[in-house]
Amino acid sequence: MPQDQDQTVERTLVLLKPDALVRGFGGKVITRFEEAALKIVGVKMKQMDAEFTRRHYFDLEERLGKEVYDFTSAFMQQGPVIALVLEGFDAIATVRKLVGSTYPNEAPAGTIRGDFSHYGKAASVASGKAVANLVHASGNKEEAKQEVELWFDKDELHDYRTLAEIFAC
Protein backbone atom coordinates (compact mmCIF):
# COMPACT_ATOMS: atom_id res chain seq x y z
CA MET A 1 0.00 0.00 0.00
CA PRO A 2 1.41 3.41 -0.85
CA GLN A 3 3.00 5.03 2.20
CA ASP A 4 1.46 8.47 1.65
CA GLN A 5 -2.15 7.31 1.87
CA ASP A 6 -4.50 7.75 4.80
CA GLN A 7 -4.65 4.97 7.41
CA THR A 8 -8.27 4.19 6.44
CA VAL A 9 -7.10 2.72 3.14
CA GLU A 10 -7.37 -1.03 3.61
CA ARG A 11 -6.86 -4.22 1.66
CA THR A 12 -9.27 -7.12 1.85
CA LEU A 13 -9.75 -10.52 0.24
CA VAL A 14 -12.75 -11.45 -1.86
CA LEU A 15 -13.31 -14.88 -3.37
CA LEU A 16 -15.69 -15.40 -6.25
CA LYS A 17 -16.89 -18.87 -5.36
CA PRO A 18 -17.51 -21.71 -7.83
CA ASP A 19 -21.21 -20.84 -8.13
CA ALA A 20 -20.37 -17.29 -9.25
CA LEU A 21 -18.17 -18.66 -12.01
CA VAL A 22 -20.48 -21.41 -13.29
CA ARG A 23 -23.37 -18.94 -13.36
CA GLY A 24 -21.30 -16.41 -15.33
CA PHE A 25 -21.43 -13.62 -12.75
CA GLY A 26 -17.68 -12.97 -12.36
CA GLY A 27 -17.63 -9.78 -14.39
CA LYS A 28 -20.83 -8.43 -12.86
CA VAL A 29 -19.55 -9.01 -9.33
CA ILE A 30 -16.16 -7.43 -10.04
CA THR A 31 -17.89 -4.45 -11.65
CA ARG A 32 -19.84 -3.83 -8.42
CA PHE A 33 -16.58 -3.53 -6.50
CA GLU A 34 -14.96 -1.25 -9.07
CA GLU A 35 -18.05 0.98 -9.22
CA ALA A 36 -17.70 1.43 -5.44
CA ALA A 37 -14.17 2.86 -5.98
CA LEU A 38 -12.41 -0.29 -4.81
CA LYS A 39 -9.18 -0.96 -6.66
CA ILE A 40 -8.07 -4.45 -7.68
CA VAL A 41 -4.47 -4.84 -6.50
CA GLY A 42 -4.27 -8.64 -6.81
CA VAL A 43 -6.16 -11.27 -8.79
CA LYS A 44 -5.75 -14.99 -9.50
CA MET A 45 -7.78 -18.07 -10.29
CA LYS A 46 -7.21 -21.17 -8.18
CA GLN A 47 -8.65 -24.62 -7.69
CA MET A 48 -8.74 -25.16 -3.92
CA ASP A 49 -7.58 -28.57 -2.71
CA ALA A 50 -8.39 -30.10 0.69
CA GLU A 51 -5.25 -28.78 2.36
CA PHE A 52 -5.65 -25.21 1.10
CA THR A 53 -9.35 -25.24 1.97
CA ARG A 54 -8.43 -26.27 5.54
CA ARG A 55 -5.91 -23.43 5.74
CA HIS A 56 -8.45 -20.87 4.49
CA TYR A 57 -11.30 -22.10 6.70
CA PHE A 58 -9.00 -23.02 9.61
CA ASP A 59 -11.53 -22.15 12.36
CA LEU A 60 -14.84 -22.88 10.62
CA GLU A 61 -15.23 -26.36 12.09
CA GLU A 62 -14.58 -25.03 15.59
CA ARG A 63 -17.04 -22.15 15.16
CA LEU A 64 -19.87 -23.85 13.28
CA GLY A 65 -19.24 -27.58 13.50
CA LYS A 66 -17.90 -30.41 11.37
CA GLU A 67 -21.00 -30.68 9.18
CA VAL A 68 -20.83 -27.02 8.13
CA TYR A 69 -17.09 -27.31 7.50
CA ASP A 70 -17.57 -30.46 5.38
CA PHE A 71 -20.33 -28.85 3.28
CA THR A 72 -18.29 -25.68 2.78
CA SER A 73 -15.10 -27.56 1.97
CA ALA A 74 -16.78 -29.75 -0.65
CA PHE A 75 -18.53 -26.73 -2.17
CA MET A 76 -15.34 -24.67 -2.44
CA GLN A 77 -13.46 -27.55 -4.09
CA GLN A 78 -16.08 -28.26 -6.78
CA GLY A 79 -14.60 -25.72 -9.18
CA PRO A 80 -12.12 -22.87 -9.43
CA VAL A 81 -12.45 -19.61 -7.54
CA ILE A 82 -11.22 -16.14 -8.40
CA ALA A 83 -9.34 -14.47 -5.58
CA LEU A 84 -9.18 -10.68 -5.48
CA VAL A 85 -7.39 -8.30 -3.21
CA LEU A 86 -9.31 -5.06 -3.18
CA GLU A 87 -8.00 -1.77 -1.83
CA GLY A 88 -9.82 1.37 -0.85
CA PHE A 89 -11.07 3.57 1.93
CA ASP A 90 -12.68 1.34 4.56
CA ALA A 91 -12.48 -1.50 2.03
CA ILE A 92 -13.48 -4.24 4.47
CA ALA A 93 -16.73 -2.60 5.58
CA THR A 94 -17.47 -1.42 2.03
CA VAL A 95 -17.09 -4.93 0.61
CA ARG A 96 -19.23 -6.45 3.39
CA LYS A 97 -21.97 -3.90 2.67
CA LEU A 98 -21.84 -4.59 -1.08
CA VAL A 99 -21.89 -8.36 -0.56
CA GLY A 100 -24.87 -8.50 1.81
CA SER A 101 -25.88 -11.10 4.39
CA THR A 102 -24.32 -14.58 4.37
CA TYR A 103 -27.75 -16.03 3.65
CA PRO A 104 -28.93 -14.79 0.25
CA ASN A 105 -32.61 -14.83 1.25
CA GLU A 106 -31.72 -12.35 4.03
CA ALA A 107 -29.58 -10.09 1.81
CA PRO A 108 -31.33 -6.92 0.66
CA ALA A 109 -31.85 -6.05 -2.98
CA GLY A 110 -28.94 -4.02 -4.27
CA THR A 111 -26.35 -6.29 -2.66
CA ILE A 112 -24.46 -8.92 -4.63
CA ARG A 113 -26.06 -11.80 -2.76
CA GLY A 114 -29.47 -10.16 -2.73
CA ASP A 115 -29.43 -9.61 -6.48
CA PHE A 116 -27.71 -12.76 -7.77
CA SER A 117 -27.95 -15.55 -5.19
CA HIS A 118 -30.89 -17.88 -5.24
CA TYR A 119 -30.17 -20.41 -2.51
CA GLY A 120 -31.12 -19.55 1.06
CA LYS A 121 -30.52 -21.00 4.49
CA ALA A 122 -33.59 -23.26 4.48
CA ALA A 123 -32.63 -24.78 1.12
CA SER A 124 -29.11 -25.36 2.39
CA VAL A 125 -30.32 -27.13 5.52
CA ALA A 126 -32.91 -29.19 3.60
CA SER A 127 -30.44 -30.31 0.94
CA GLY A 128 -27.45 -30.79 3.23
CA LYS A 129 -25.36 -28.53 0.99
CA ALA A 130 -23.36 -25.38 1.59
CA VAL A 131 -25.02 -22.03 1.07
CA ALA A 132 -24.28 -21.02 -2.51
CA ASN A 133 -23.79 -17.31 -1.89
CA LEU A 134 -21.38 -16.36 -4.70
CA VAL A 135 -18.63 -14.63 -2.71
CA HIS A 136 -16.46 -14.80 0.38
CA ALA A 137 -15.38 -11.52 1.96
CA SER A 138 -12.98 -11.01 4.85
CA GLY A 139 -14.89 -10.15 8.01
CA ASN A 140 -12.46 -7.82 9.78
CA LYS A 141 -8.93 -6.35 9.59
CA GLU A 142 -7.21 -9.34 11.20
CA GLU A 143 -9.00 -11.82 8.95
CA ALA A 144 -8.27 -9.69 5.87
CA LYS A 145 -4.56 -9.56 6.68
CA GLN A 146 -4.38 -13.31 7.29
CA GLU A 147 -6.36 -14.19 4.16
CA VAL A 148 -4.45 -11.84 1.86
CA GLU A 149 -1.16 -13.31 3.11
CA LEU A 150 -2.47 -16.87 2.61
CA TRP A 151 -3.64 -16.28 -0.94
CA PHE A 152 -1.02 -13.85 -2.30
CA ASP A 153 2.73 -13.42 -2.15
CA LYS A 154 3.88 -9.80 -1.77
CA ASP A 155 5.11 -9.71 -5.36
CA GLU A 156 1.61 -10.60 -6.57
CA LEU A 157 0.14 -7.40 -5.12
CA HIS A 158 0.42 -4.15 -7.04
CA ASP A 159 0.51 -0.46 -6.22
CA TYR A 160 -0.82 1.93 -8.83
CA ARG A 161 -3.04 4.96 -8.94
CA THR A 162 -6.44 5.00 -10.60
CA LEU A 163 -7.64 8.05 -12.51
CA ALA A 164 -9.96 8.84 -9.61
CA GLU A 165 -6.95 8.90 -7.27
CA ILE A 166 -4.88 11.01 -9.64
CA PHE A 167 -7.58 13.63 -10.04
CA ALA A 168 -8.97 13.56 -6.47
CA CYS A 169 -8.91 16.87 -4.68
Contacts of 31 (CB under 8 A, 6+ apart): none
User: Quick check: 82 and 26 in contact, CB under 8 A?
Assistant: yes
Known catalytic residue at 118: no
3-class DSSP assignment, residue 9: strand
Q: What is the pTM of this model?
A: 0.90
Sequence spans of domains, the chain: 9-166
Tens of pLDDT along the chain (169 residues) come to: 444 445 689 999 999 999 999 999 999 999 999 999 999 999 999 999 999 999 999 999 999 899 889 999 999 999 999 999 999 999 999 999 999 998 888 999 999 999 998 777 777 777 777 788 999 999 999 999 999 999 999 999 999 999 888 887 5
Report the topology of domain 9-166: Alpha-Beta Plaits (3.30.70)
Give a three-class secondary structure readout of 64-130. HCHHHHHHHHHHHCCCCEEEEEEEEECHHHHHHHHHCCCCHHHCCCCCHHHHHCCCCHHHHHHHCCC
Q: Which residues pair with 88 in a beta bridge?
A: 10
